[in-house]
Amino acid sequence: MTAEIIDGKAFAETVKARVGRQVEALKKNHDFTPGLAVVLVGEDPASQVYVRNKNKSTVAAGMKSEEIRLADTVSEEEVLAVVHRLNDDPTIHGILVQLPLPKQVDEMAVLDAINPEKDVDGFHVINTGRQAVGLPAMVPCTPLGCIMMLKDRLGDLSGLNAVVVGRSNIVGKPMASLLLAENCTVTIAHSRTKDLPAVVRGADIVVAAVGRPEMVRGDWIKPGATVIDVGINRIEGENGKTRLVGDVAFDEAKAVAGAITPVPGGVGPMTIACLLANTVTAACRQAG
Ligand code: GUN
């Protein structure tokens, strides 16, 4: 068996095109342009690439994009002052503070300061709690993109065994919560899990989000399972050049799985598309 490759890039293009049409209609019918602000602290190269891509996609979708860059020596008070200014800016409907932040800045304090209605990352505890109890909420972009790809391939997810490998606040925990809301039987596996391969072998859906290159091996995968690889790891290739790999050993898993997302070109593009979709959702809710 060789798995279907889930084309996240193509799927993201359809989501972005839909967002573009929504933005156009808002401008034409309501004279209203959604705005997204992205705050980048420091010079982390990976974060710079993400922020540049977010900015480009926001503009391409017809929205206002504001990028705020702060030095990595910035104080927590200065970051909080920027967040408060954006909270008060009526032309900005979505605020994203790129993580990680330098150690002198308390991440939780910054996320907590963002107006939950403008929290397009869905990281504010209000949104985490609202999503967990089934109220309308801003939902984190990466898990949202994963759910969209899963539903597109599998339809109804009810009753399926889902194993999420990784328990981060950004991906693992919200992913598990969204899968539960889709009536999956959910297991969160992590570094202390006993016999991880055996746990993963029970999964109809595997979501790998651990940040360890190619950790999930092909013989951990149940034949026919759907595998979503959230990892983006840069490793040294045979020719001395670096290459991107996921948290799943792709070639091995592809031989066993029913469907699998590639890295790059799987989850990554969907995350940005969902950020744009969340920004339009937030803007419409704020406009009433
Ligand atoms: N850093 C890595 N992924 C993310 C994300 O989805 N949102 C934010 N704000 N920072 C990140």
Domain-wise residue ranges, the chain: 31-116, 141-268
**Ligand 1 contacts CB of residue 57 (under 6 A):** no
Class of domain 141-268: alpha beta
Rg, C-alpha atoms of the chain: 19
Residue 20 pLDDT level (bands cut at 50, 70, 90)? very high
Q: Determine whether the shortest distance from the Cβ of 142 to ligand 1 is under 6 A.
A: yes
* Ligand 1 nearest-atom number relative to CA 271: 6
- Specify burial of residue 165 (Cβ count, 10 A radius: 0-12, 13-18, 19+): buried
**Ligand 1: which residue has its CA nearest to atom 2?**
99
The overall average pLDDT reported for the chain is: 97
Q: Mark whether 98 is an active-site residue.
A: yes
Ligand 1 neighbour 98 (Cβ under 6 A) = yes
Catalytic status, residue 118: no
Lowest mean pLDDT across 46-50, 217-221, 264-268: 46-50
Residue 238 has a pLDDT of 82
H or E element, residue 86 = helix 76-87
pLDDT at 9: 98
Contact partners, residue 259, CB within 8 Å, separation at least 6? 3, 4, 5, 6, 153, 226, 227
Mean pLDDT in residue range 171-199? 98
Active-site annotation holds for 48: no
Q: What is the predicted pLDDT for the residue at 167?
A: 98
The length of the chain in residues reads: 288
Ligand 1 center from residue 99 Cα (angstroms): 5
- Ligand 1 pocket member 211 (CB < 6 A): no
Q: What is the pLDDT of residues 206-254, one digit of tens each?
A: 999 999 999 999 999 999 999 999 999 999 988 889 999 999 999 999 9
Q: Which CATH architecture has domain 31-116?
A: 3-Layer(aba) Sandwich (3.40)
Find the catalytic residue in 16, 22, 54, 131: 54
pLDDT of residue 288: 77
